[in-house]
Amino acid sequence: MTAEFIPFALPDTGPEEIEAVAKVIRSGWVTTGPRTKEFEAAFAGYLGGGVQALAVNSATAGLHLALESLGIGPGDEVITSTLTFTATAEVVRYLGADPVFVDVDPMTLNMDVAAVRAAITPRTKAIMPVHYAGLACDMTALLALARAAGIRVVEDAAHALPSTSDGVLVGQLDSDVTVFSFYANKTMTTGEGGMVVTRHQELADRMRVMRLHGINRDAFDRFQSKKPAWYYEVVAPGFKYNMTDIAAAMGLVQLGRLNDFLVRRQVLAARYYEALGGLPLVLPAAGGPARQHAWHLYVIRLAAPRMANGLTRDTLIQGLADAGIGTSVHYVPLNRQPYWRDRYGLTPEGFPVADAAYETMVSLPLYTAMTDAQQERIIAALTALLNG
């Protein structure tokens, strides 16, 4: 008898989400409208600190809007981590600017602050920190560095809900814009979706207009307002990045469950630490009271690319798959991806830390819908492969 498959990730959605979505569909207003406005207000309230929140249809869209609102364009450089999803860097290319990739810190796998400092040139317009796995970058150091150099900061917080840096929630820090993702495998989901957060009124205004075709009135406002519904003005060639009320209704329920989700993720992470501590592995940096880990990912690294028993990252992944366990790798460093490698002439030697981490890393299943019994199966399979 084969054991049931344990997927790498699974959204935690149930009757409440289904009912909220059904209610929107029954209401007759399914695109951006009252639920989206409510979700934005609830999200801004969750973060606190007087931030504005703009719902979008993906974090990728949000990152694009953020850089566009900062006026980034051809000839500009934006510094980011090589150990991230390609979306972080592709939005820089959307605007005709160039990402500059830096290596990561060996413990946290977050962007190395000294490498960021060394990468700054007269063309540098922005830094995009990525809070890898849900552990915040050293934002105090990065914000000080950016401020001194007159550079803007856009946080890719796709993994970092909710995370803290020096005790402050990511989203409430002094960066220009912070972008969260509600993709299916993130710490909360709307299927597809994202949230852009800023304290800067002029950036919020620009992003609000560019989110919807460069139109200065959204459809719901036109529908509700006393002004004629047919009238609107196009002030820029904008994008189609608005969130639907169907997604927002799901987001409202998920946001209400977020703190419970975090507790469950913390329990699962603690169990992994306890069970895997004696194995020849590098376990992830855990954060602490002032640096709360969101536990989007639990990334283990083999102690060596080839273990004494012949085990490698690839055979470990295969062995777990054979035991009915899904895993993933976060990430193939961007310096190894053909487009980025060839366009910028990047080599693994230029990113020794990320590259060495990549050779040994595996992301284990970590999601709130996972049962204790499933986690015990993962631990047992991993232990057997490492000791085999």
Per CB under 6 A, residues contacting ligand PLP are 58-60, 84-85, 87-88, 130, 156, 158-159, 181, 183, 194
CB-based burial label for 388 (10 Å; 0-12, 13-18, 19+): exposed
Nearest distance in Å: CB 328, ligand PLP: 11
Which residue's CB is nearer to ligand PLP, number 115 or number 133? 133
Which residue's CB is nearer to ligand PLP, number 130 or number 153? 130
Nearest distance in Å: CB 194, ligand PLP: 5
Which residue's CB is nearer to ligand PLP, number 130 or number 143? 130
Please tell me what DSSP assigns to residue 306: B
Which residue's CB is nearer to ligand PLP, number 241 or number 272? 241
Nearest distance in Å: CB 224, ligand PLP: 28
The letter for the amino acid at 359 is: E
186 is catalytic: yes
Catalytic hit among 23, 37, 125, 186: 186
Nearest distance in Å: CB 66, ligand PLP: 12
Q: Is 6 helix (H, G, I), strand (E, B) or coil?
A: strand
Q: What angle do CA 371, 286, 366 make, to 5 degrees?
A: 25
CB-based burial label for 219 (10 Å; 0-12, 13-18, 19+): middle
Two structure tokens written together for 304: 């060596």
Please state, in angstroms and rounded to a whole number, the distance separating the CA atoms of residues 283 and 182.
Answer: 26
Cis previous bond, 162, omega within 30:
yes
Please tell me what DSSP assigns to residue 319: H
Please state, in angstroms and rounded to a whole number, the distance separating the CA atoms of residues 325 and 6.
Answer: 5
Which residue's CB is nearer to ligand PLP, number 77 or number 156? 156
Which residue's CB is nearer to ligand PLP, number 61 or number 378? 61
Please state, in angstroms and rounded to a whole number, the distance separating the CA atoms of residues 69 and 179.
Answer: 13
371 CB neighbour count, 10 Å cutoff:
9
Which residue's CB is nearer to ligand PLP, number 59 or number 197? 59
Nearest distance in Å: CB 67, ligand PLP: 13
Two structure tokens written together for 306: 């080839």
Provide the angle, in degrees to the nearest 10, between the axes of the packed helices 34-47 and 245-276: 40
Which residue's CB is nearer to ligand PLP, number 330 or number 377? 330
Please tell me what DSSP assigns to residue 84: S
Nearest distance in Å: CB 242, ligand PLP: 14
Two structure tokens written together for 346: 């990047």
Strands (E), 74-205: 77-81, 98-102, 124-128, 152-156, 164-165, 168-169, 177-181, 194-198
Residues with Cβ < 8 Å from 370, sequence gap 6 or more? Answer: 6, 10, 268
For residue 251, which phi and psi values (nearest 5 degrees)? -60, -40
Instruction: Tell me which residue of 176, 178, 167, 218 sits closest to 70, measured CA to CA.
Output: 176
Nearest distance in Å: CB 174, ligand PLP: 21
Nearest distance in Å: CB 158, ligand PLP: 3
Please state, in angstroms and rounded to a whole number, the distance separating the CA atoms of residues 176 and 199.
Answer: 7
Q: Which residues are catalytic?
A: 186
